[in-house]
Structure formats: C-alpha cells, structure tokens
Amino acid sequence: MANDLIVVCGAGGFIGGHLVKALIGQRPVRAVDIKPLNEWFQVFPEAENLVLDLQLKQNCIQAARGAGTIYNLAADMGGMGFIESNKALCMLSVLINTHLLQAAKDRGVRRFFFSSSACAYNVDKQKSPSVVPLKETDAYPAMPEDGYGWEKLFSERMCRHFMEDFGIETRVARYHNVYGPHGTFDGGREKAPAAICRKVIAAKLSGSRSIEIWGDGSQKRSFTFIDDCIYGTQAILESDIREPINLGSRELVTINELVTIVEEIAGTKLQRRYDPTAPKGVHGRNSDNTMIRELLGWEPNTSLRAGMEGTYRWVHQQMVRDRHLVAAV
C-alpha cells in the first residue's frame, strides 16, 4: 500500500519504545528520536531507526517522508522534578508538534496522533483533598500546569485546527502518569512509580532502611501501566474519536499508599522521611473514563499492584547489574 509507513517520533523514549515494539510486524515502522541510538530504551533492528532533532523543521520533513501515519510522542519532559524546574524547555516541545504537523500536511499523511497529558487540565480543579475525576471538558477554562501543561494544551488545539483546515485525521490522548519497565528510573527525569521502586531497592540493598518522599505523601494520583497505554494509543489512533480523550487508570492512591505497595513487593518496611520543599505537583488527579468506555468499550484495567510488580522486577535487575545506582537513595 502507498503511504503504509508508520512513523513513531520519540521512539527512543519509554512509551515510544514500547509502541514501536507493538507495531513491528503490522506495517513498516520508522523510529525517530533525538538521543544517540545507544541511549534509546529499546531498539528494534526491524525498524528504520533515525537520530533526528525534531525541533528542526527539515528533520520533521525527513521523518514524515513516505508516511501514512505519525505518532508524535516526542517531547522534552520528565517527572515533576524536571517539569517544575524546566518550564521553558518543556514549552519548546511545541516546535516538534508544529513542524511535524506541517510536514504531515505537506507529505499527505493520513493520520496523526499527539500524546497529550493530564497536565493540560485546569489546576484549580485539582486542589481538593476529595479528588473528583477529571472529565475531558475540565481542560477549560484553560489553566494548565505552567510550562509543560500549556504546551500540551496549545498543541492539542493545533491538531484540531490542522484537522479542520487541512483534513488530516488527528487524534489526541491525554496520558495519566504512565509507568512500567524499560523507562527512566534515575537521573532526575523519572516519575513517581519508578523513583519509588529505585529508592526502595536502594534502601534494601544498601541496608539504609529509610526512604525520602517528596511532599507529605498525601498527594493522590492514578497510574497507568504501559501495556494499557500502548493498547489505548493504537485504539484511539484507529478510532473516529476527534476530541482529546483521557487515557488513564481510575485506580486512585496516595503516594504513601504507592510506597506501601512497593514495600510489600520488596518484602521490606522502611522509615519514611518527608521533604515538604520538594516538587509535588497538584494535590490530586484522577481520570474520568466515561468517554473512553462509551466510545471504545474499554478502559485501562491493569491493577496498580500487578503493574508495579513488573516494574519493580525490571528496575531491580538494572540496579543489581549497575551497582553504582544503589547509592541513589
């Protein structure tokens, strides 16, 4: 088929690597990332693997050549510690989506997926201890998380208008805290599930018997296992859903409860030290899955305990292999 090629942008990252793995064998795949190939989390020789900075227009044109479908997962981002300290860098990711959409229009791409985030939601709706699940309409009136959230919300609108004006079938999913193996777990860009796994493993292996928790541990979140994210991403891309839609678990826990789950998996109990000055994000966030259940007849359903067991095992393997990481408590 003409234009049968699938392009995954951000393929060297956590979600992108899992997506390429799922797509291999379906259609030809081109995997693109800014990082050197030896720094990609997963590399598949069956794909055409390109190292390109997609903030540059000419590289987006190269990436889109011959493509029928583009998944844009490329962004300069990380966990809350990175997001709150690098607002300008996060916003510069708008260049990627802008140039990719232009290249998609010029190259005749049929379908375009943009990975948005729950950070696009109005922060005023996420301050109450009694967390009300976020519906897709709660992104407006606009007041997203500064930097990263604004970039996501703006890029969502750009996808909408490229569909309206140029006929590209764009799809947007708002990811809610995706976690799992083959991702960042140290270095400052990791998210809470991987960071807590690392801290518990380091404490257990080093014998320190304590763990530092950002904030007071009462922050509430839902966490989405990578397998559910990948299934939902493909289903949304192939669907007729033209509005941004939540892609997240609705199993809500506090950070303290997440730590307890990891302790139980590790077979240990640690003393908790709280850092109220550390980045902690909004007080509470959960996904309202009414729309995805109605339109896809499905929602993310991997339990947090099951997903964290797989994540913990993978992080443990990496840390035992690289013993220097044990010091990163």
Which candidate, 47, 42, 8, places its Cα nearest to that of 184? 42
Distance from the Cα of residue 32 to its chain's centroid: 17
Q: Within 13 Å of residue 230, how many CA atoms lie on the same side as its CB?
A: 18
**Which residues are 211's β-sheet partners?**
272
Beta-sheet pairing, 210-214 with 245-247: unpaired
**Tell me, what amino acid is at 177?**
N
Residue with tokens 């805290």: 177
**Catalytic site residue 175?**
no
d(C-alpha 33, C-alpha 25), whole Å: 20
Nearest to 184 by CA among 234, 138, 226, 219: 226
- How do beta strands 210-214 and 48-51 pair? unpaired
Q: Which of 71, 121, 148, 312 is catalytic?
A: 148
Q: Name residue 298's amino acid.
A: W
Q: How many CA atoms lie within 13 Å of 157's alpha carbon, on the beta-carbon side?
A: 10
Q: How many CB atoms lie within 10 A of CB 90?
A: 25
Ranges of H-type helices in 207-329: 226-238, 255-266, 290-296, 304-321
Determine the distance from the C-alpha atom of residue 49 to the mean position of all C-alpha atoms in its chain, rounded to a whole number.
Answer: 21
> H or E stretch including 19?
helix 14-23
**CB-based burial of residue 321 (10 Å sphere; 0-12 exposed, 13-18 middle, 19+ buried)?**
exposed
Structure tokens at 117: 């985030």
β-bridge pairing 29-33 and 48-51: parallel
**Cβ-count burial 222-244 (b if 16+ within 10 Å, e if not):** bbbbbbbbbbbbbbbbeeebeeb
- What is the set of active-site residues? 148
